[in-house]
Amino acid sequence: MNLADKKAIFVKTLSVKAAEDDGNCGISGLALISCDEILLADCNNDCVKILNVRESKISSRYSSQPPSKPWDVAVINEEIAAATMPEKGEIIFMDTTNGLSKSHTLKIRKGCRGIDHQNGIIVVSFCSSPAVQILNMKGKILNEVSDASIFVAPSFVAFSKDSKSIYVSDYLKHAVYELRLDGEVKTTTKCWKDNYPRGLAVASDGTVVVCCENTWDRLTLLMSNTGEIRYLTVEHVEEPTAFLLYEEQNKIVLCGSDSDCNEMKIFDLR
């Protein structure tokens, strides 16, 4: 898929609000469980949810006890998913085979934020004492980047499709970093002056897709082959805060802020 040549065509809106939610949603992380199920981190309502796209409803909801705000989610395999809990300094692993239920936890540092998984390796970012850690499934730190001159608020992370790079969005540095698996910084893209990069994903063609707070009706595309910055227009989304790229079905899913906070919008990529 060459994302730069695609247009995002609005398809429909789904509610991400569950009956048990006390307030408006704050979807900070998304991950794909299956073609019909999307995992959501709702930091405002202190829970992780499964949205059944086909049935257009929240089919399961998990809240840790005592309640804590999840920040990001990742799918480990067809049965297990994970969520970062910044206040507790934990990764919570959940069984997804029959709704959401706690499997086990992995103790890490407080202030954990973004998470991604690939081939038995987990990458986690931290905004308290800014760092990015590369871990095995038992929590052993394989590599770490903790140079305070590099990061201020590394909020989200994503593996490249070939597993050779990790991309990190830094909310306050207005930058996206590419790291090697040994933790060395490979490239830095500083292209936002008044915008704040949040969620990101890497397409199969190497394009890095980023949603930025303060950016209206569009996603930012970082072209890996040329270094060029381009944009993908996403109408009907005031300010994208979290998104999911689903290349297998040529779709992109977005959540927004403010008036869009309880909704998810689905687009076809054509």
pLDDT tens-digit readout, 213-239: 888 889 999 998 787 899 999 988 878
State the average pLDDT for the chain.
93
pLDDT-derived band at 86, boundaries 50, 70, 90: very high
Q: Are 213 and 194 in contact (CB under 8 A)?
A: no
Q: What is the mean pLDDT of residues 88-105?
A: 97
Q: What is the mean pLDDT of residues 164-186?
A: 93
pLDDT at 149: 85
Q: Are 251 and 234 in contact (CB under 8 A)?
A: no
pLDDT at 217: 86
Structure tokens at 151: 């990061």
Domain count, the chain: 1
Q: What is the mean pLDDT of residues 135-143?
A: 96
Q: Rounded to whole angstroms, how far apart are CA atoms 127 and 225?
A: 30
Q: What is the DSSP string of 129-152?
A: TTEEEEEETT--EEEEE--TTT-S
In CATH, what number is assigned to the domain containing residue 20?
2.120.10.30
Q: What is the mean pLDDT of residues 85-95?
A: 97
Strands 101-107 and 57-62, by their bridges, are unpaired
| Secondary element (H or E) of residue 105 | strand 101-107
Residue 192 has pLDDT above 80, yes or no: no
| pLDDT-above-90 percentage for the chain | 81
Single out the residue of 268, 235, 267, 242 nearest to residue 256, CA to CA. Answer: 242
pLDDT-derived band at 257, boundaries 50, 70, 90: confident
- CA-to-CA dists, residue 85 to 37, 60, 154, 219, angstroms: 22, 19, 15, 26
Residue 69 has pLDDT above 80, yes or no: yes
- For 100-118, the pLDDT digits (tens) are 999 999 999 999 999 999 9
pLDDT at 232: 94
Count Cβ neighbours within 10 Å for each residue of 207-238 and write b for 16 or more, e otherwise.
Answer: bbbbbbbebebbbbbbbbeeeeeeebebeebe
Q: What is the mean pLDDT of residues 27-37?
A: 96
Q: Give the residue, 128 or 68, on which the prediction is more confident.
A: 68
- For 114-134, the pLDDT digits (tens) are 999 999 999 999 998 999 999
pLDDT at 194: 76
Residue 16 has pLDDT above 90, yes or no: yes
pLDDT at 152: 94
pLDDT-derived band at 256, boundaries 50, 70, 90: confident
- For 53-63, the pLDDT digits (tens) are 999 999 999 99
Give the domain range for residue 113. Answer: 3-269
200 pairs with which residues across the strands? 210
Q: Rounded to whole angstroms, how far apart are CA atoms 259 and 251?
A: 23
Model confidence, pTM: 0.95
